[in-house]
Amino acid sequence: MKKHNVLIILLSALLMLACSQASKADTATTGNDNQEQKNPTKKKKPAQMTKVLLKTSMGDIVIALYDETPLHKENFIKLVNDKYYDGVLFHRIIQNFMIQTGDPESKNAKPGQMLGNGGPGYTIPAEFVPGLYHKRGAVAAARMGDNVNPKKESSGSQFYIVDGRVFNTNEINRVIQMTGKTYSMDQIKDYTSIGGAPHLDGDYTVFGEVVSGMEIVDKIAAQQKDGRDRPLEDIKIISAEIMK
């Protein structure tokens, strides 16, 4: 079990747009500001937020977009309205961690084809907001690694949903020691109850959360996959649409 815990923490280094080999070189090292963590942002309740329905080949997932990350929200809505996500695969899945999608090159991809490098040709400035973090169900933007992306700018289209796992307080303390990050009481409460991926905080922009369909996220994350974490059987977003 200890080996599994260490593996999940190390896997945070892989969550970027580059191929698996390049991703392994990245590490999360940026901490959060202590004063900001004491005053987390008060966000709208999910019922008041813009929602997007992702119809996938394994079931429906509904996500709500945060107003506190306007650049990511506006971009995501634009891509949804442009039908950009229709037909893309979940090209990378890691159970108890996350599922990743949004690569346009995954549409009609051949079996075994390396995926994860595609996008719309632009990035989005990071929007790190106190109070928005990688709890279970969080929706966040993938990105290239720090070595080529020191400003931690987000991919223009690729995103992931946190499947996550529950951490105990000793594990949280180890993450703090390894990364130098700090966590609010709300973060610690969520990570030790509903779970998440705390080691990603402050390194990837969280811009939404799942409000319905986490059982589908869990189901996708549990599928068989190859050595690059691509599902052996394609799992796709059939369509994405703004809910009225």
Kindly list the domain boundaries of the chain, sorted by start residue.
Answer: 2-15+48-242
Query: What pLDDT is attached to residue 143?
Result: 98
Query: What pLDDT is attached to residue 44?
Result: 66
- The pLDDT of residue 8 is above 70: no
Least confident window among 25-29, 151-155, 160-164: 25-29
For 205, other C-beta atoms within 10 Å of its C-beta total 26
Measured torsion, CA atoms of residues 182, 43, 154, 152, in degrees rounded to the nearest 10: -30
233 with 58: CB under 8 angstroms? no
Grade residue 232 by pLDDT with cuts at 50, 70 and 90.
Answer: very high
**Beta bridge pairs of residue 89:** 236
**pTM attached to this predicted model:** 0.84
Burial 98-111 (b: 16+ CB within 10 A, else e): bbbbbbbbbeebee
Q: Which CATH architecture fits 2-15+48-242?
A: Beta Barrel (2.40)
How does the average pLDDT of the chain come out, rounded?
A: 86
How do residues 64-90 score in pLDDT, each as one tens digit? 999 999 999 999 999 999 999 999 999
Least confident window among 26-35, 100-109, 138-147: 26-35
How do residues 176-230 score in pLDDT, each as one tens digit? 999 999 999 999 999 999 999 999 999 999 999 999 999 999 999 999 999 999 9
Query: What pLDDT is attached to residue 159?
Result: 98
Dihedrals φ, ψ of 185, to 5°?
A: -65, -35
Cα 169 from Cα 238, distance rounded (Å): 39
Query: What pLDDT is attached to residue 5?
Result: 45
